[in-house]
Chains A and B, each alone.
Chain A
Amino acid sequence: MSRTVIPFGPQHPVLPEPIHLDLVLEDEKVVEAIPRIGYVHRGLELLVQKKDFKQYVFVAERICGICSFMHGMGYCCAIENIMDIKVPERADFLRTLWSELSRMHSHMLWLGLWADAFGFESLFMHSWRLREKILDIFEQTTGGRVIFSVCEIGGVKKDIDAETLKNISSKIDEIKKDALEFSKVFYKDKTVAVRTVDVGILTKEQAFALGAVGPMARGSGLSQDLRSTGYAAYGQVDFEPIFETDGDCYARTAVRIREFFQSADIIKQCIGKMPEGEIRQKVTGKPNGEYFMRLEQPRGEVLYYAKANGTDFLDRVRVRTPTFANIPAMLETLKNSQLADVPLLILTIDPCISCTER
């Protein structure tokens, strides 16, 4: 059968960010997808040679507008390990709390976009309405809705008082109740199932071989979650990595919905166990050495590499973001898919292109 190549992206209604795919089609069936990225490269890694190591925290946060807190935190943790700084326990708990709030709002954002991609407009609006409440908690505690600027080398800049913590706890309960109601639509609605069940299957072996991370890997039955390594305060809260075994879009949706509720639970645990004390440790001296830091972001594992030379300016920072790691898995799911499913299959990895290109 003759083949046609159609360009998909970089501008496409379903893509919030630019990625280009050349889709090789046989009739309506995709036989191959060839990706091209590089439309929003900002050179943020190189900036580390121009901004001093404390200023760079603000740059690291701007790598991504959704997991901005965890980017800042990943960089700070790497530098803290190089400099041998012990972060106060309360700061670790606050970092965990903000990380999980980020996960909640990121998953809610994705669920909304996901609903929008299969044409369920009102579900999209309800998801984003709920996400707004989480952003309000962020604004109340950090002063920012997207970029938080609270993480710093040696701890966090802002504390949350007991009253506000109680307040957050009850807000989380409300959000959970609301989310429970319409998350059932993703699970049970027939129109959703038609678009997601058995679409874009990635087997466990494929997920492993292609180095999939995050919900993409966990939806295929790989139970890997970096939070189990116990960085920040994760060692002190109870949780089990969530995974599903079907490997289709439905399974990945289920992983994210279940993780949303798990994050709410971790936040409640953090509030309950939050120790009193300092939130920041004074940083003296300059970093010298190198370190790899691995964190679990909403989209999967992020890897921060920092190399310092004893001056104010680092030699190198390298960030391997989860979307970058998930692109091979996405290409695999695109093979033999229908053209109409391509937008869904791109969205299923929860792509963040600005992260990927930095």
Chain B
Amino acid sequence: MQLNDQYIDRKWVVGGIFAVFILIFIIRLFFIQVADNKYSMSADSNSQRHMIQYPARGLVYDRNGILLVHNQAAYDLMVIPRQVLPFDTLLLAELLDIDVKLIRDRIYKAKIYSRYKPSIFLKQISVSRYARFQEHMFKFPGFYIQSRTLRDYPRPMAAHLLGYVGEVNDDMVKKNPYYSSGDYIGISGIEKSYEEVLRGAKGNKIFLVDVHNRIKGEFMNGALDKQAVQGLDLTTTLDAELQEYGEKLMAFKSGSIVAIEPQTGEILALVSSPTYDPKMLVGRKRSKNYSILQKDELKPLFNRALTAQYPPGSIFKIVNGLIGLQEEVINLETHFECDKSLVGCHNHPPNNGIIKAIQYSCNPYFNQVYRRVVQQGTDKNRFVDSRYGVKRWVELCQSFGLGQTLPIDVPNLSSGSIPGLKYYDKKYGKNQWAFSTIASNAIGQGEVMIVPLQMANLAAIFANSGYYIVPHIVKKIGENPTSKDEYTQRRYTGIDHKWFVPVKEAMYAVVNEAGGTARLARNDSIVICGKTGTVQNPHGEDHSVFIAFAPRENPQIALVVYVENTGFGGTWAAPIASLIIEKYLHRVVSAKSVEEKEKRIIEYTPLKK
């Protein structure tokens, strides 16, 4: 049955309209794509080059505005495999002073990474090569120069603290979208902890590049460009001159110096010896030098000041003494005989109280104090009783910032260790240990471990009579003072202010009175208070340690000097500390001190080969 349809012919009109428009489109396409090469020419000159604008990394200054870290220009030769046309490999090899095989390898590698994205073809070419290459660049489509900045150190020092910058690894690229392969990132020290502040923000500039590898202009007049944001400068708390001096004194010795301004927690100097020149870990030579440093048996890469956990030795007697006073298991007059049957001691005048005991560093005395702390008589069973005592002791030790990782602004700080119930239960079994088992903690020789930074912090606590501010290394970010609560608020120990008075008295006596163990630290013009330690070292010679603060009234500096394998604490650590104090407070070391102390210390070079 046929529909009676008077409009049936209109199907031709509709079909015709369809056909006409499609035909118009095809003709138009023919003109755009085949007849007129205007568009394909534009496409050629339209190849985009995304140039990453690396912002200059923030500079680093010391507390007095001395420049410690700045930037130097570096040039990377980049390649985008997709844009590479056949080129004169011999010329490129000659210009860059590399062999042809390397060129092929690198291009192959780049292709595997991405055909569209740029990869680094040759890292950090010299300025002169850069200039020569620039002249010939038009012969090498697909190649271009990317400028970056590398670190430079006008006064090489504090390598561990400043840290270094290196290429970001693949893990990080995956984890953090900000980074792309080949970017630099802070790997250690404050370069790492302040990475986000220092790096600023990368910018992106898009250029149009023609087939001859020439930049034709900005893409869309720069509308899509992103300006790089400069990294912020850091003002550290470091005193460059003090740091340099400390490194000089510690040369060819193994150990550390950590100096803190007690009222603020600002780290004035942080020396870890042996150290290395931070310039070694910059640029192309970094990986080579790094492996050299890593293989060095003196472990120059190891930051002793933050990560070496040492038994504290006699300096820990002060902590135990304070805990005894606080727990009221002793008072200022409490007298214990120097009973060498309990623990060995050197010959010294008799103690008549804690001040003298600290001054003479009497081992049996503190053995007795610690016994009273641990076994306070809370329970008749001495095992159970020890648990109460040790628990309390651990709490108070922790209030000194011991046995915990302080939230400082440099990475990789160790916590040290204050052994508690858990530790001893595991080691000996529950109720299988009592005071006698752990007695060596009394004189800082047991399982107590402290890192030098914590020792310096102890000195600061003594100087402040009972509180500390978490040590930190950065004072100002850009123009803004660091305002983190941690670095401004006082943390009080669990010890009454009043108990620090006799401790300071004793520390004064250690340095300044006859019979004190650190007479070598004495300085005529500065009242130094301190405490020596000699740490028995089963692997070799004793470690020499000295903590101090000065001046006695209104202390400006608190510090620790830890010298490994050098014997008695008063011999090396004390005079070094004294020189550091003098340098900091007077800015110059007197001729007398140079003669009496510095010369001897500098001449002492146990590590020199």
A and B form one complex: no
